[in-house]
Structure 1
Amino acid sequence: MRQRKINLLMVLCSLVGGGIGYAVGEILLANFSGEWPTWLLMGLYFGQYAFFVGLMCLVAEMVSPRLNGQGWKQRYVGASWKMLVPSTFLMIGVVAMLLQFAYGATFQTTSGSDNIVMLLDTSGSMKRSDPNNQLFPAAGDMVQKMEQGTNVAVISFNDRSEVVQPLIQLDSQTVKDEVVQKLLQQAGTSGGTNIEEALRTALEHLQTSQKWNHSTIVLMSDGYSRVDLESALAPFKQANIVIHTVGMSAVDAEGTNLLKQISANTGGSYFDVEHADQITGVFGQIIELTRQERTLVSDRSDATESSALYASLRVLSMVIIGTLMGLALGLIFDNRHLAKSFIVGGAISGLLAGLVLESGFSSGDWPEMLLRLLATLLMAVVVALFTLLIPVAVNQGSSSFQARLSRSKALPVRSGDAGKQNSKRFDL
């Protein structure tokens, strides 16, 4: 016999659990993105999310056991609590880590690699702040650390700007070595400081690239110049070009404040250097920031932005996570009939969530946080609704393995029926 069942309280509680999981996930992303490995972050994101959904569904069925029945509530709810963490947080967390490994890997060569433009101050004041001429060797180390396929350009500036290295793709170690050699041959410092001219030159040079809006600028200066920030930074903000700035606070306080404003207005970071020998380390930190790490729940802003492969991989990953959420609920309630319904619902919910994320990120019309909220709530509510859409086979009594095992042990064994009793146990 098959029946369509629904526990409206479970649907509501699942929605609440999804909301809690979303909130905790956003806290994880806000505080640990860039600090923790992405595979660990995504494992925790989906593991805790599945835990809260499973927890709230379990609480709902305990309060109103409409799906598993009073027999489950009276005898097997303890086993359900024991299965909660292993089947949600652990199982789904580990699988999410593996899926993030796959999604974060590079499977194809893409055109239009990200651009990094280095703006290096060669004004006369650098003789005092960088007496050993460590700036260009540090820039060379930065080039060596860049990922293969990155486009790099180097512009020096004092009163006026000069393109030292036009935009070039670092497609081999030979090219990297050639760029570094050119940097090491640069002349000494002289003249004043014109940061606005340097930014203008960088923008004009980037516009020669087909994907110039996928760029990062690294501006290093120890001085100050007058800059109309609103007009100078408007094109960078419109094109989502990030400007990281490096300044020497011990030299010029006004210059430091200017660099902080430039980075803050373009979504970049400001790095303070007290001594010139720290420049190499700071440039290394900036390289880590420029490396785009794809996550299952964020926009692809690197060269894979329009990749059908990564779009399919994200959606497939969400389908797998949704399916496992359905399996987890089946394990928690120890009911193979409910498990079938939850698994199908989980797969559909994962598909819908994946499509919401991928289409929303591709259009660019929705904030990332809102898209994640829609996806997580959709997964939570759809998986709980599918017991209404898919008929569930109903046994007379409990459908759990433990229940049937208990009944078999409780049967009295008569001496003449020993063989029959053994046969029944093997049939379980």
Structure 2
Amino acid sequence: MVAIVPRLRINSPRLKTDFDALAEIGATQSGGVTRVALSNEDLEARAWFANRIEDAGFFVRDDEVGNLSGVLPSKQPNARTLLLGGHLDTVPNGGRFDGSVGVLAGLECLRTISEAGISLPCHLEVISFTDEEGWWQSFFGSLGMTGTLQPHHINDVQQDNAAFRAALYRAGIRVSEVGRAKRDMNDLLGYLELHIEQSKRLEQANIDVGVVTGVVGRSTYVYTFFGEGTSAATTQAPDRRDALQGAAMFITQMYALIADEYPDGIVNCGNIEVQPGTFNVVPAEAKLRIECRHQDSDILNEIESRLIRMAQDIALMYHLSVHVEQMYKRQVAIMDEGILRLIETVCDDEQLTHQRMVSYAGHDAQILSPFLPTAMIFIPSKDGISHNPKEETDWEDVENGANVLLQTILRMAEHA
């Protein structure tokens, strides 16, 4: 059995020093950070992180997809590994907290446990996953680690990925070797990730910690409405086959459907392409990129089916045709119930308020959850702003989250 130290605390000033130093790598004039995956700034952050790992006396580990880890080994050589982490990459001109909090808090937990002389029956590994944000390929690192990275994620199938392959090569990642990054999930005890909420539910409810029950499923579609490009000046209204008009009606009705019947769901139209795209010709084609998210797989499927039927009905109304193509589908990810209860117990012991919640944003945890026990800890985001220079979390919340992570690690180790 592991001797638990209930009041063991992370070194908050040291964590803050790391946080401020990392935020300088790729800092923008607006106060944000640009460290897109495999960029010079990302590679600099990796080197900085590796130095911090070595300075703490831990082993540096990297793999064939560029995941970078620090390892505190157990004295039991055949022990399993408990993973902690997040990602160092950002979106362009993003925030300082997204992803980095999980990595830095994980490293600080390793240092705290090591300095306290606590010997755990499991290895501890803090990992930074490659390209979580999807500058090139979303979840590239966690897909590689779980063995679910597919050839189409790298090769030229739906788009030209030559620049991606060049960036991988420049970072020392060989496309021919990425399959070797797969790890034996039986060797892993679980995965814990501390993250900012990226929404304002915790802040509005004045709750200290979010206990994440799962990550919503997500699907993306391309809807293409086809009409006829005729003269806008001379084609009478009853004779128009206006693809954009049909697309506009679809967008309006899509949002109304979700608001009225699926308030826990999210849809978004992120792009519209119109052909021929000139002011005096009736639009002959309107292509929409649509995303759907929901925490229930069956309801997500239902939303997708209803939207397709809606598009077909609207096309008929405006004398159009419509083509629908699914581009991406990510199933709902469920977090481990046993770890969730453990986190809640820790929060109670720490006298921190908590509530269960679903994550609407994607995380590496959703890639790992089908393969090993996984959980996420959310801390509040001011005004719910993320992927933006205004992204902010009170340092007290970061400290609270890191201490909850620390105590959860110690309690999980009891069952290693």
Fold match (TM-score > 0.5) = no
Larger % of helix: which? Answer: 1
For normalisation by structure 2, the TM-score amounts to 0.24
Ranked by relative contact order (alpha carbons within 8 Å, sequence separation 6 or more), the top structure is 2
Task: Select the structure that is richer in strand.
Answer: 2
Larger radius of gyration: 1
